[in-house]
Amino acid sequence: MAEHVFQKCIDPNCGAAYGVEEVLTACPKCGNLLDIRYDWDKLSVPKSLKELEKYWTMRDVPQRFSGVWKFHDLLPFTELEKCVTVGEGQTILQNSAGVAKYAGVKEGNLFLQYEGMNPSGSFKDNGMCAATTHARMVGATRAACASTGNTSASLALYCSCLQTMKAVIFIGDGKIAYGKLSQALDYGAQTLQIHGDFDDAMARVKEVSKKLGIYLVNSVNPFRLEGQKTIMLRVLEALRWNVPDWIVVPGGNLGNSSSFGKAFHELYELGLIDRIPRLAVINAAGADTLTRVFNEENIRWNGGNTDRAKINAFFKQMNDEGRRANTIASAIEINRPVNLEKCLRALEWCDGVVRKVTDQQILDAKSQVGACGFGCEPASAASVAGTKLLREEGVIAPSDRVVCILTGHQLKDPTATVAYHCGDPQKFDEVLRPHGVTTCDFANNPVKVENDVDDIVRAIQG
């Protein structure tokens, strides 16, 4: 197996390659990000995606039960038996008439890919099973990440199940939703609250993991992104291998969008799909680095010839002006997305667009997902808010088939949900107003009622 898979620098002008037994989070030669690449000619690749259906009957094999490893043929970086699984990827693509109506998409054409159903409640488990598989391959005993909450919850869960690896997590002090913090603590992870934000935690975890030889599972880890490709494979599977017109995904550290681009590029190159869907990456307006880079600075992947000097100048100006991300969608409150260049590549491969939405738009969209679907955390609703915006602009046509990725479970961040719905002015002022939210138009207010049967009956009957 090992000779048919390798790590490769994404910069075609460098193109350095490394074995999969090496633990790398950047190209040692030029510092750019790495991909996992396969010599497909020497591997057994399915002739059609439909062929993958043969695994549906093998749910007694834990790896075939996994919504990630059932697609092992398309991410074969180690043998199937060696792959870590806790039952991730049992997700559903839900058709939502209510959300379609809200977003202005034709009924029947809007789908919600509900990743909150994963064991730790977010899409991160798709990547974490792959990263911990590689960590175990190289004999790691400790694994670390910086996180806005979901990566850390996922790593903590995998480590608690594996028992052979200790999780060390770095989080920005006061920057993480309670649902996520409670998971990391409960799963027994060593939890370091750094005085700073996600970007500070990210910079420190890189330094410390290098110094102490701890395995890093942030999305600079190319193995993690291999696992996340399968979110798109499950979307195709649910659509009986038909390609939708649009994939709409929230953008934070830009790992998901990068891995989706890679998934579609590979499927297309392998002749397994005949067209690539368009990708829309949605930032929160308060954390809009990609929007600025792509729409204002007009920086493109440009076949690998990205204007790095312009990117560096952009970040220098951001620092000089002291601009820091600030959004109620704390999961995507990120200034310096580590996968920026890979995401630019995905946007090129998928003829992509980038938009930003306000916290008001995010919370309104979130209330629709709650009322018409499984519910989600604020960051996830950026995909629905972004779809609505792109429909209003006419970029998405009303008859287009659109898949919105709901990245995290509703219970991850009850603070934002309760503040939106409860009608308590104090909570509104504390939680929502600082983020520029002015109305709760779709609030489902609880009714206060006396402890009395007649009063309760009157309240129910209006």
Q: Which residues bind ligand F0G (CB under 6 A)?
A: 122, 147-151, 219, 250-256, 331-332, 377, 379-380, 407-408
Which residue number, 136 or 180, has a Cβ lying nearer to ligand F0G?
180
Find the angle CA(150)-CA(155)-CA(160) to the nearest 5 degrees: 125
User: What SS3 class is residue 405?
Assistant: strand
Which residue number, 63 or 147, has a Cβ lying nearer to ligand F0G?
147
User: What SS3 class is residue 357?
Assistant: strand
C-alpha torsion sign, points 106, 109, 115, 118: positive
Cβ–Cβ under 8 Å, residues 175 and 330:
yes
Q: Which of 359, 379, 354 is nearest to 297 (CA)?
A: 354
Which residue number, 237 or 333, has a Cβ lying nearer to ligand F0G?
333
Least CB distance to ligand F0G at residue 201 (A):
9
What's the Rg (C-alpha) of the chain? 22
Least CB distance to ligand F0G at residue 53 (A):
28
Least CB distance to ligand F0G at residue 364 (A):
18
Please tell me the distance from the alpha carbon of residue 122 to that of residue 184, in angstroms, as a whole number.
13
Least CB distance to ligand F0G at residue 177 (A):
9
Cβ–Cβ under 8 Å, residues 385 and 284:
no
Which residue number, 78 or 122, has a Cβ lying nearer to ligand F0G?
122
C-beta atoms surrounding 319 within 10 Å: 12
Which residue number, 133 or 154, has a Cβ lying nearer to ligand F0G?
154
Least CB distance to ligand F0G at residue 282 (A):
10
Least CB distance to ligand F0G at residue 218 (A):
8
Which residue number, 49 or 144, has a Cβ lying nearer to ligand F0G?
144
C-beta atoms surrounding 54 within 10 Å: 10
Please tell me the distance from the alpha carbon of residue 72 to that of residue 64, in angstroms, as a whole number.
9
